[in-house]
Amino acid sequence: MRLISLATVLFAFWLLLSGHYTTLLIAIGLIAVIGTVLLARRMGVADEEGHPIHLLVGALSYWPWLALEIIKSTIAVSRLVLAPGLAVSPRLVKVRAGQKTPVGINIYANSITLTPGTITVDVKGDVLTVHALTRESAADLASGAMDARVRRLEGGEWKVARGAEGGEGSAGEGEVGAARGEEGRQ
Amino acid sequence: MSSFIVDILTVASDVLIAVGSLVIVIGALGLLRMPDVFTRMHAAGMIDTTGAGFVFAGLILKAGFGLVAFKLVVLMGLLFFTSPVATHALARAALYGGVSPHLAEDSELDGMVEGYPIARE
């Protein structure tokens, strides 16, 4: 199933980049796609980690939210850069990633890095070390809103599969108390 | 009527590209003004997310509905997936390479030093 979706995505990518729809080129594309999929299967990378297509639906609502966060923090960082005093107060903070899968933690860490003002510098298990540009950007992160969003993004299917809400929020107890509050409002 | 829509699209794409360019200029300025590697990366990160994002959005509107617009969307996606990886790799390399981050006085440095080769000044 995942192989079929991988093949579809790859073939769409091929069509997009070639822009020629003659029989010969489409046939060559198909051969290349089949070869790639077979290779990916042999290497064992066409799994839920290498090709996380099941997250796509959740991502469609996550990306606009992330884009808004990025724009908000860009404005904040721009203010800092343009202000005469350059009032930065850089710091390293540790945050716990409440996600259950490596893909989830990866998405969370990358989202932190994408947002101006915070960069994930190290990942050890589920503890992220983050370099924050100011006290405020560190506080934003500590509020756990992004963590909760990513957990919801990865959560969908898994929660249904487990048939219980019990697992929710248990991973990031304590430090992300605010995140659970946000989930409660849902 | 249709020329009215074209006008709106032209203006909108121009505005988006102008905003993106402004963000890139501010990011470049930040790159010069910030005190150390890590803080400079924050300014650089602004360029390849918001700056590039706005320029891409403007170009997509200019390209109109078609293959070029789709290619631009794909390019934007690739950029948004790869740039945090590059930024993270750079930051991690700097930290493990022994570059001491310039930290504010009120940050809890002590709890952080363990596990990292951060030199105390």
Please indicate, yes or no, whether the overall pTM of this predicted structure exceeds 0.90: no
Residue recorded with tokens 């952080």? B112
How many domains does the structure of chain B reveal?
A: 1
3-state secondary structure A44-94: CCCCCCCCCHHHHHHHHHHHHHHHHHHHHHHHHHHHHHHCCCCCCCCEEEE
Contact residues, chain B, for A109 at CB < 8 Å: 84, 88
Residue-range definition of the domain harbouring residue B29: 2-113
Contacts of A19 in chain B (CB under 8 A): 67
Note the ipTM here.
0.81
Q: A-B interface: how many C-beta pairs under 8 angstroms? A: 116
Judged by CB atoms closer than 8 Å, whether chains meet at A119 and B35 is answered as no
At residue A170, what is the residue type?
S
Give the model confidence (pLDDT) of B43-99 as tens digits: 888 898 899 999 999 999 988 888 888 889 888 988 988 999 999 999 888 888 877
| Minimum-distance CB partner of A88 among B34, B53, B109 | B34
Q: Nearest-5° angle of CA A46, CA A49, CA A54?
A: 90
> Do the domain assignments include residue B7?
yes
CA triplet B101, A93, B104: central angle to 5 degrees? 45
Residue B26 domain-assigned (yes or no): yes
Nearest C-alpha in B relative to A107:
B81
Q: Is residue B93 part of a domain?
A: yes
On whether residue B66 sits in a domain, the answer given is yes
Q: Are the C-beta atoms of B50 and B23 separated by less than 8 Å?
A: yes
Tell me, yes or no, whether B96 lies in a domain. Answer: yes
pLDDT by residue for chain A (186 residues), tens digit each? Answer: 778 888 888 888 888 888 778 888 889 889 999 998 888 888 877 777 777 777 877 788 888 899 999 999 899 889 888 888 888 888 888 888 888 888 888 889 999 999 888 999 888 888 888 888 888 888 888 888 888 888 888 775 444 333 333 333 333 333 333 333 333 333
Q: Where are the domains of chain A?
A: 2-43, 55-184
Q: Is residue B109 part of a domain?
A: yes
B95 vs A contacts (CB less than 8 Å): 121-122
| A96 neighbors A176 (Cβ within 8 angstroms) | yes
Instruction: Indicate yes or no: CB of B23 within 8 angstroms of CB of A78.
Output: yes
Residue B91 located in a structural domain:
yes
Selected for mutation to probe chain B from A16, A55, A110, A150 (highest B CB count within 10 Å) is A110
Query: Is the distance from CB of A91 to CB of B40 less than 8 angstroms?
Result: no
Q: Any residues with CB less than 8 A from the CB of A53 and at least 6 apart, and which? A: A2, A5, A6, A9
Cβ contact A120–B53 (<8 Å)? no
Residues in chain B closer than 8 A to A114 (CB atoms): 45, 49, 80, 83-84
Residues in a beta bridge with A118: A132
Among candidates A67, A64, A4, which has minimal Cα distance to A33?
A: A4
User: Cα separation of B103 and B121, whole Å?
Assistant: 11
- List pLDDT tens digits, range B75-91: 898 898 899 999 999 98
Q: How far apart are the first and last CA of chain A?
A: 32
Own/partner pairs, B22-31, CB within 8 angstroms, 24+ separation = B23/A74, B23/A78, B23/B47, B23/B50, B23/B51, B23/B54, B24/B51, B24/B52, B24/B55, B26/A78, B26/A81, B26/A82, B27/A81, B27/B51, B29/A81, B29/A82, B30/A77, B30/A78, B30/A80, B30/A81
The residue in chain B having the minimum alpha-carbon distance to the alpha carbon of residue A114 is: B84
Taking CA–CA distances from A15, the nearest residue in chain B reads B67
Chain A residue numbers with beta carbons less than 8 Å from the beta carbon of B29 are: 81-82
Crossing angle of the two packed helices A102-114 and A56-82, in degrees rounded to 10? 30
Using CA atoms, how far apart are residues B25 and B19, in angstroms rounded to an integer? 10
User: Is B39 touching A (CB cutoff 8 A)?
Assistant: yes
The reply to whether B119 falls in a domain is no
Show residues of chain A in contact with B106, CB under 8 Å. Answer: 89, 91, 135
| Length of chain B (residues) | 121
Q: How far is B2 from chain A (nearest CA, A)?
A: 28
Distance of CA A21 to the CA centre of its chain: 34
Across the interface, whether the CB atoms of A67 and B53 are under 8 A apart is answered yes
Q: How far is residue A118's CA from residue A114's CA, in Å, rounded to a whole number?
A: 8
CA distance A28 to A24: 6
A151: tokens are 């957990």
